[in-house]
A = this chain, B = another copy of it.
Amino acid sequence: MSGHDELVADLQRMLGTSGVLWQPGDMERYRVDWAGSQGALPLAVARPASVEEVAEVVGYCHRHDIPAVPQGGGSGLVEGALPDSVQPELVISLERLNRIREIDPIGYTISVDAGCILQNVKDAAAAEGCFFPLSLGAQGSCQIGGNVSTNAGGLNVLRYGMMRQQVLGLEVVLADGRIWHGMKALHKNNTGYDLKQLFIGAEGTLGIVTGAVLKLSPAPEVTRSAMLACPGVSAVMRLYTLARRCCCDLLSAFELIPRACIDLALEADANLPDPMDTRHPVYVLLEVSASGPANLDDMLEALFERGLEQGLLLDGVLASSDTQASQLWRIREAMLEGQQRRGDHLRSDISVPISQLSEFHDQAEAMVRKFAPEASVIAYGHVGDGNLHFNVLPPPDLPGDEVAMLLHTLEEQLFDIVDTFDGSISAEHGIGRLKQARFLESLSAPELDIMRGIKRLLDPRGQLGAGRILPRTPL
């Protein structure tokens, strides 16, 4: 038997026939992601159905020196989970680990397998009158293990925090095949170094998350959505400060949407009406929600009044029904579809201190005007977190090779501006392979030393997700 045949036979012995894919046609869907990027053909795809099977496969890889990469729902945006082309890898898919293990509506916790699809976790929580706040475009396909490993963000971070803040306990298969049993459902536990923090956001390079205990909240009983029009980004940010105050801590989303995005949305979905009679420079889509008798309308009214008084607001629409609210939120989805239709463009995911976001926006826009006066800036995002997807559509008539060059230049320039604001070049998407070069440049010597040391400690042979976050060698 060839080495490859032997690998497949061994995996079949461990996982059963249905637990292994090795025909190129069957493996096709494991080498593409949500953004359309394509990885290499993997050695095989292992589909373990239990934590013990994951441990067996990882231990086998450890003993036989086989590089492996864990894979969730494939909605990452930095090519972290795509099979490597430098050195063929075994894909370990968590898709069959998809049980809701336990839900505790008294203690507001849920315990799940890593392969559970986010939407299923949200639904399971809702069925018990609870709420799992993580809210992402990919929630119908992304998996909890991937959400943990990328420390996912999304729409509700300003109220509930990132995925890191949702995790109470973890179960992780370590690089040597041992299992770390850390599925504690405790809100407080100060016993030694908090090991789960190592694996959250590590993009599968330090171990494979197989289970998680997550915090839940009471399900909102009343929700209000509103779209507000503002004279500019600076006004939006001042409005945000006001909204935090007026809406108490019940503000669950605060999204910046420039006019260009509304146009993209209307382009993508002909049934969508313009949200207001007049065109305005920028819009805010916000949501407040409460699980008890809070008068959300009072809060929004206070916000509108004070916003108008202070000249921060031009107009506003308060959704008076669930249908109307859905229509407002449909704009947020449709604008992404519209953006996608425009072909190659600069996609970014930066963050800066909230109070400097407007100044950052203006500097970045001026930079684009300088380098590509005909390009369109599409800067939207979770400004309540200081997180902006500052994207740029290239001039429509630019030849393909020039587009690639322009986008690269714009990205470098944009990141330079991010640096002057002491910001982040990846607020929520992670590093993977796509952002590695710039990330490594930005690290100080102590940072690089500690990160390398952590990798060496937890994956001494460099077999898990090699080449993601940190370079393959030297470790």
Contact = CB atoms under 8 A, between A and B. Distances in A.
B157 A248 contact: no
Interface string A84-104: 000000000000000000001
Nearest to A105: B241
A423 interface: yes
B451 A192 contact: yes
A430 to B, nearest CB: 5
A192 B185 CA distance: 26
A133 to B, nearest CB: 11
A450 interface: yes
A195 interface: yes
A316 interface: no
A129 B296 CA distance: 22
Contacts of A409: none
A428 B190 contact: yes
Interface string A153-187: 10001110110110000000010001111101111
A185 B353 contact: yes
A469 B192 CA distance: 6
Interface string A186-204: 1111111111011011100
A385 B188 contact: yes
Contacts of A232: none
A465 B245 CA distance: 42
A459 to B, nearest CB: 12
Interface string A419-431: 0001111111111
Given A186-B386, A454-B457, A107 B353 contact: yes
A250 interface: yes
Given A104-B353, A246-B293, A293-B298, A193 B426 contact: no
A377 interface: no
Contact of A191 (B104, B182, B237, B439): B439
A131 to B, nearest CB: 10
A110 to B, nearest CB: 12
Interface stretch (A258-266, A392-400, A441-449): A441-449
A: interface residue count bin: 35 or more
A270 interface: no
Nearest to A182: B447
A188 B427 contact: yes
Contacts of A189: 351, 424, 426-427
Nearest to A252: B249
A179 B266 CA distance: 51
B188 A428 contact: yes
Nearest to A176: B446
A354 interface: yes
Nearest to A298: B293
A454 to B, nearest CB: 6
Nearest to A425: B191
A354 B192 contact: no
B161 A165 contact: yes
Contact of A190 (B108, B355, B424): B424
Interface in A402-437: 422-431, 435
Interface of A: 104-109, 129, 150-151, 153, 157-159, 161-162, 164-165, 174, 178-182, 184-195, 197-198, 200-202, 206, 217-218, 237-238, 241, 244-250, 290-295, 298-299, 302, 351-356, 382, 385-387, 422-431, 435, 439, 442-447, 450-451, 453-454, 457-458, 469-470
The 9 A-B residue pairs whose C-beta atoms are closest, nearest first, are A107-B354, A197-B197, A106-B355, A107-B355, A189-B424, A188-B427, A248-B290, A453-B457, A185-B353
22 contacts: A107-B353, A129-B245, A164-B194, A180-B447, A186-B351, A186-B423, A188-B427, A189-B351, A189-B426, A189-B427, A190-B201, A190-B424, A192-B431, A192-B439, A192-B447, A192-B469, A195-B451, A248-B291, A250-B294, A292-B299, A292-B302, A294-B299
